[in-house]
Amino acid sequence: PGYAALIGTFGPSLLDKTGSRPAARQSDAGGPAVIRHPRELRAIPNNAILQQLGWLANSVHGIGQAAARAPELFASMRESSERFGRAYRLAAHAMANSDLDVLRAYLDTLDAGSWFDRARRTEREGRRDELLAVAEALARLDLAPALRRLFWRFASDRLKLKEAAGEPPAMPVRLVALHTLRLSLLHRIWLSATHIPDFRPHAGVTRELLLERILRLDMAGALVLLGEIFPLNPDPALGLDFGEPPGPREGGAYAALHRDVVEPMRQCFALLREISGAIQHEIGAFG
């Protein structure tokens, strides 16, 4: 469950499509389905997503456990086996581009508790309500317990590998900066989404479901829905005289919403995707 939550919550949306098919199947209600098991995600995006979250588990996880079982043999093979050395260089490169603190930042982003803590500490006017809204939406997804267990497994394996192979190089500062910038954009999108006003169900979509899609960064679908629910251009029928008083949201009522909420989310998501491409190039996993 933790692995599926790690790669399946917003992971597929971090990257552009890698083929003609979507990374994951679609749900009956629209938008990507919740991934319950890694096999529901195609292999190429599976690996690509793991390279995006600060810990290249597809190349390094499990090596520490194996080395701990036979540390002398592990050390001997590294020194004397050219074939093993070539294989291990892949893991060494992965470790040099991995950082448990960066991974932890992504996991904390999906933990409602971290958002509640921020809400408790913030002194910025209006920010507490935004943080609480994100926290409550994440609490409904209930991802934190499984993600914590996954982090413990990764951390345990990392410590065993450190014991067997020594301390790897630190993640490059440029790569840390890219992860930091992208997380800040993701947070900005979520905080902006809390300003979407309530609305009547639209094609089976409620405000709660729309916020969940935004939490999972299904922005293409969410932005289309926002345009339908809160049209920027008024209905031409609004200008006709039917002998009735106009409704409370006559022409242009949503211009401010699009200017202050929808368009900034669109721009942040486009930049977020650009940073994902830069991360691929930085770790040498593009193509």
pLDDT in tens, 21-55: 454 455 544 555 565 555 555 555 667 888 899 99
Return the pLDDT at 85.
92
271 alpha-carbon distance from chain centroid: 14
Q: Residue 235 above 60 pLDDT? A: yes
Helix axes 263-283, 219-229, angle to 10 degrees: 170
Residue 285, pLDDT score: 74
Pick the more confident residue, 218 or 36.
218
Q: What is the mean pLDDT of the chain?
A: 87
Tell me: pLDDT of 204 over 50.
yes
Percent of the chain past pLDDT 90, that is, above it, reads 70
Residue 41 bridge partners (DSSP): 24
**231 CB contacts (<8 Å, ≥6 apart)?**
254
The per-residue pLDDT for 121 is 96
Token pair of 71 as six digits = 């540390």
pLDDT band at residue 98 using 50, 70 and 90 as cut-offs: very high
Q: Identify the bridge partners of residue 163 per DSSP, sorted by sequence position.
A: none
Give the per-residue pLDDT at 23: 45
User: Is the pLDDT confidence value at 144 over 70?
Assistant: yes
Residue 33 is predicted with a pLDDT of 58
The percentage of residues in the chain with a pLDDT greater than 70, rounded to a whole number, is 82
Residue 63 has pLDDT above 60, yes or no: yes
| The model's pTM | 0.85
**Dist CA 47 CA 18 (whole Å):** 11
- pLDDT band for 136, please (50, 70, 90 cuts): very high
Taking only the tens place, the pLDDT of each residue in 261-276 is 999 999 999 999 999 9
Looking up tokens 């499984």 gives 146
DSSP-H helix ranges across the chain: 2-8, 43-50, 57-60, 63-69, 71-80, 82-96, 100-109, 112-121, 127-141, 144-165, 173-193, 207-215, 219-229, 255-257, 263-283
Closest CA to 58 of 6, 110, 23: 6
User: Residue 212: which residues within 8 A CB-CB, separation 6 or more?
Assistant: 137, 140, 141
More confident residue, 168 or 103: 103
pLDDT at residue 58 in the model: 86
| pLDDT confidence band for 19 (50 / 70 / 90) | low
Where do the domains of the chain lie? 2-283
Residue 79: which pLDDT band, with cuts at 50, 70 and 90? very high
Indicate if the pLDDT at residue 10 is higher than 60. yes
Q: Which residues contact 2 (CB under 8 A, 6 or more apart)?
A: 146, 147, 148, 149, 150, 151, 153
